[in-house]
Structure 1
Amino acid sequence: MPPPSTSIPIGNRLLDSLPAAEKADLAPHLELERLELKEQLLTQGKRIYTVYFPLTAVASLLNQVEDTEGVEIATVGNEGLIGLSLSWGIDTLNPREFVQCQVPGDALAMNSDIFASKVSEGGELTWLVHRYTQAFVTQISQQVACNGLHSIEERCSRWMLLTHDRVGSDEFPLTQEFLAQMLGVRRPSVTLVAGTLQQAGFIRFRRGRITITDRRGLEGASCECYHVLREVFDRLV
Structure 2
Amino acid sequence: MNLLHNGLVAQLPPTDQGLLLRRCEPVELKAGEILSAPGAASGHVYFLLSGTSVALVVRNGGGSGLAVGLAGREGAVGLQFALGLGAGHFTLLVQSSGAAFRADGAVLQRLSDRRLGMLRTFAGYLWVFSQEVAELAAAAQVQDIQARLARWILLSQVRTHQTELQLTHAHLADMLGVRRAGVTLAARNLKDRGLVDYRRGRIQILNLEGLATVAHAQQGAQGDLLDDNELV
TM-score by shorter chain over 0.5: yes
Corresponding residue for residue 206 of structure 1: 199
Map 1:154-173 onto structure 2 (within 5 A).
154-173=147-166
Give unmatched runs, 5+ long, in structure 2: none
Number of residue pairs matched?
227
Deviations 1:188-214 (A, max 9, x none): 111111001111121111111111111
| Paired residue secondary structure (1:229) | coil
Out of 217, 224, 227, the position equivalent to 1:227 is: 224
Deviations 1:38-84 (A, max 9, x none): 10101222233311011131111212213234321222222221112
| Paired residue secondary structure (1:153) | helix
The yes-or-no answer on 1:23 pairing with 2:20 is no
| Paired residue secondary structure (1:210) | strand
Deviations 1:136-185 (A, max 9, x none): 22112111211111121111111111110111111121001100110111
Out of 75, 90, 94, the position equivalent to 2:70 is: 75
Corresponding residue for residue 117 of structure 2: 124
Percent pairwise identity: 28
Deviation at 1:236, TM superposition (A): 4.8
Query: C-alpha distance in 1, partners of 2:118/2:163?
Result: 31
Instruction: Give the residue type in structure 2 aligned to 1:157.
Output: A
Instruction: Give the residue type in structure 1 aligned to 2:183.
Output: V
- Which stretch of the first structure deviates more once superposed, 123-132 or 51-60? 123-132
Cα RMSD (Å): 1.9
Asked if structure 2 preserves the Cα contact closer than 8 Å seen for 1:36 and 1:103, the reply is yes
Taking a change above 3 Å as real, the CA distance of residues 226 and 208 of structure 1, as seen in their structure-2 partners, is farther
Corresponding residue for residue 50 of structure 1: 44
Corresponding residue for residue 3 of structure 1: none
TM-score, normalization by structure 2: 0.90
Deviations 1:104-143 (A, max 9, x none): 1111101112211122123432121111111122112111
The yes-or-no answer on 1:63 pairing with 2:58 is yes
Deviation at 1:228, TM superposition (A): 4.4
- Which stretch of the first structure deviates more once superposed, 80-89 or 31-40? 80-89
Asked if structure 1 preserves the Cα contact closer than 8 Å seen for 2:25 and 2:102, the reply is yes
| Paired residue secondary structure (1:33) | strand
Asked if structure 2 preserves the Cα contact closer than 8 Å seen for 1:202 and 1:214, the reply is yes
Asked if structure 1 preserves the Cα contact closer than 8 Å seen for 2:47 and 2:73, the reply is yes
| Paired residue secondary structure (2:55) | strand
- Which stretch of the first structure deviates more once superposed, 180-189 or 121-130? 121-130
| Paired residue secondary structure (2:8) | helix
Instruction: Give the residue type in structure 2 aligned to 1:203.
Output: V
Asked if structure 1 preserves the Cα contact closer than 8 Å seen for 2:59 and 2:65, the reply is yes
Map 1:174-185 onto structure 2 (within 5 A).
174-185=167-178
Asked if structure 2 preserves the Cα contact closer than 8 Å seen for 1:204 and 1:210, the reply is yes
TM-score, normalization by structure 1: 0.88
Out of 107, 114, 136, the position equivalent to 1:143 is: 136
Deviation at 1:88, TM superposition (A): 3.5
Asked if structure 2 preserves the Cα contact closer than 8 Å seen for 1:154 and 1:222, the reply is yes
Give unmatched runs, 5+ long, in structure 1: 1-6
